[in-house]
Structure 1
Amino acid sequence: MHIGFQSTAAEQNDPVFYEKDIQYIHQAGFDHIRLPVDEEQLWTLDGRREEEAFKLMGDCIQWCEHSGLRVIIDLHILRSHHFNAAEKPLWTKPEEQDKFIALWKDLSGFLHT
Structure 2
Amino acid sequence: MSNRRFGQILDQWEEQRQQKREHVTTPVAVAKRDLARLQALAEVYDQPVESIMTDLLHAALAEVESSIPYVPGTKVIRVEDGEPCYEDDGKMPDYLDARHRAAHPKN
The alignment's TM-score, normalised by the length of structure 2, stands at: 0.30
The alignment's TM-score, normalised by the length of structure 1, stands at: 0.29
When Rg is computed on C-alpha atoms for both structures, the one with the higher figure is 2
